[in-house]
Amino acid sequence: MSKPKSVRALEDHQAQAITRNMRVSPRKLNLVAQSIRNMPAGKAVASLTFSKRRIAGQVKKTLESAIANAENNHQLDVDRLVVTIAEVGRGVVMRRFQARGRGKSARVEKWFSHLKIVVAEKQIEASPSSSEGAA
């Protein structure tokens, strides 16, 4: 006997990927996640590829995993995917100490974060300037 299958939390046109315990503070990770929210998936991957932030590579890896899940597990069209949710959560905090003068110490906190990316299949409308021809 096994545990009964859990009900899928997402809708049929959505797919997700989750990365836990990324070694970056949630505030810094949220800046990168904010930059890709509500973007078409292809544009978001390109944006993360050329980002100067250190953590952008791991965020790109998570986004590519969500895109692969959408394509392989849920048979969604990759060209119509949009990043609907890029959620950042707080993970564990490692506490270390740094030696200070006169025999004292200071606490150093090393934050970890969780990242959840949900992509959904939507109709991407073309820009109005490209559809209008010269008069």
- Pairing of β 81-99 and β 14-22: unpaired
Is 132 within a domain? no
Is 133 within a domain? no
CATH of residue 85's domain is 3.90.470.10
**pLDDT value of position 107:** 98
Is 8 within a domain? no
Q: How far is CA 117 from CA 3, 87, 103, in A?
A: 27, 6, 46
Under DSSP, is residue 48 helix (H, G, I), strand (E, B) or coil? Answer: helix
**Domain span holding position 103:** 14-123
* Alpha helix (H) residue ranges in the chain: 26-36, 41-49, 56-72, 128-131
State the pLDDT confidence band at 123, using cuts at 50, 70 and 90: confident
Write down the mean pLDDT value for the chain. Answer: 93
**pLDDT value of position 127:** 61
Of 12-26, 51-65, 82-96, 116-130, the range with the lowest mean pLDDT is: 116-130
State the pLDDT confidence band at 129, using cuts at 50, 70 and 90: low
User: Could you tell me which of 80, 78, 55, 54 has the C-alpha nearest to residue 67?
Assistant: 78
Is 134 within a domain? no
Is 2 within a domain? no
**pLDDT value of position 48:** 98
Q: How many distinct structural domains can be found in the chain?
A: 1
Q: How far is CA 119 from CA 22, 27, 29, 46, 67, in A?
A: 20, 22, 18, 16, 7
Q: Cβ(14)–Cβ(120) under 8 Å?
A: yes
Is 129 within a domain? no
Q: What are the pLDDT digits (tens) for 32-91?
A: 999 999 999 999 999 999 999 999 999 999 999 999 999 999 999 999 999 999 999 999
Of 7-21, 93-107, 121-135, the range with the lowest mean pLDDT is: 121-135
Predicted TM-score (pTM) of this structure: 0.86
State the pLDDT confidence band at 1, using cuts at 50, 70 and 90: confident
